[in-house]
A and B are shown apart, each in its own frame.
Chain A
Amino acid sequence: MRNFIILFRKEMKEGARSGKWVWLPIVLMVIGISQPLTNFYMPQILEMAGNLPEGAVIEIPMPSGEEVLIGTLSQYGTIGTLLFVLAMMNVISHERQTGALAFVMMRPVSAFQYMASKYVAQLCILLISLAASYILTWYYTNILFDHVAWTLMLASLAVYSLWIVFLVAVTLFVGTLLRSSGGIAGVSVVFLSVISLLTTLLPKYMEWSPGNLRAEASNILLEGEWGSSATLVSLSTLALSVLFLGLAVYMFKKFERFGE
């Protein structure tokens, strides 16, 4: 346990030194609050950008607060996922390339402690950034559109956070397989998008898929209740995350034993 705490602190320091603690929350906040703002100013934006014929009238229905939040979630799903993966791609590969990994593993540190400290530290950064961005967006939505209950907001945030839990596990696992940061990011993004794609193509067979998390979060916002499918998806996502983390520890031990 002491090893874990020391490694965790080291990860946190690393996050602060590389500026991740600053740029990730800020960029997410910008992405988040852009959504209600563009929705709100859509008529003005069209008026300025489009050369509409004289007298053209476009009626854009004002979206409800819930719909704006759903739009934000979909932004997190595309740009957000890409950013998260990019932010984490060199968590392991960087230490491998500089040789810092050998120094760490010379101490009596188990592979599990090492991976767990990375996992928890990265999860902290990503989840805190996501929560900050989402809560700020919710605040904006309440001002510009109608009021969304904070319980709904928190529930959808909690469900959506599971996607991050899964994403970090996948990226760490890929990080133990490949050496180059670019390759790690590429493989992780492709894997995550294939899962999302399959979920939309084969809804019947993919009820358990983590790709459903965004739909479930939107569902909670719209219907205001926790469906039974949400429980299934949440549990399967947690199980898959544990599985990927276990695989990551296993692969890490392997390349550790063979000296890379």
Chain B
Amino acid sequence: MGVLTEVNWALIAPLIVLQLILMVFALVNCVKQEETNGPKWMWILIIIFVNIVGPVLYFLMGRKNG
């Protein structure tokens, strides 16, 4: 566990914040959507559990209207 405390979290924090923003933005967008390509709950799971790639996949393929 010594390694984890060595890491300077101030450096990593922006990376995590960016990913969180992306995830939340995709989630809000997905929930607001009337219909998605495929079941909505599946997209929500993908957005939450697949890091970065999940939200991108949702924006590229999940939205009905492009």
Contact = CB atoms under 8 A, between A and B. Distances in A.
B66 A94 contact: yes
B7 A27 contact: no
B39 interface: no
Interface residues of A, number: 26
Given A18-B63, A37-B11, A48-B3, A83 B18 contact: no
Contacts of A87: 60
B26 to A, nearest CB: 7
B22 A23 contact: yes
Interface string B19-31: 1011001100100
A4 to B, nearest CB: 22
Contacts of B60: 86-87
Which of the four size classes fits the interface of chain B? 20 to 34
Contacts of A37: 11-12, 15
B21 to A, nearest CB: 6
A194 interface: no
A92 to B, nearest CB: 11
A175 B26 CA distance: 26
Contacts of A30: 15, 18-19, 22, 52
Q: DSSP class of A's interface residues: helix, strand, loop or mixed? A: helix
B6 to A, nearest CB: 7
B56 interface: yes
B3 A83 contact: no
Interface of A: 18-20, 22-23, 26-27, 29-30, 33-34, 37, 40-41, 44, 47-48, 83, 86-87, 90, 94, 98, 140, 143-144
Q: Which 9 A-B pairs have the closest CB atoms?
A: A94-B66, A26-B22, A23-B59, A90-B66, A44-B3, A19-B59, A22-B25, A26-B18, A30-B18
Interface of B: 3, 6-7, 11-12, 14-15, 18-19, 21-22, 25-26, 29, 52, 55-56, 59-60, 63, 65-66
Given A22-B25, A23-B26, A37-B15, 11 more contacts: A22-B21, A22-B22, A26-B21, A30-B19, A37-B12, A44-B7, A48-B3, A86-B56, A87-B60, A94-B65, A144-B11
9 contacts: A18-B59, A19-B25, A26-B18, A26-B19, A27-B22, A27-B56, A29-B18, A30-B15, A41-B7
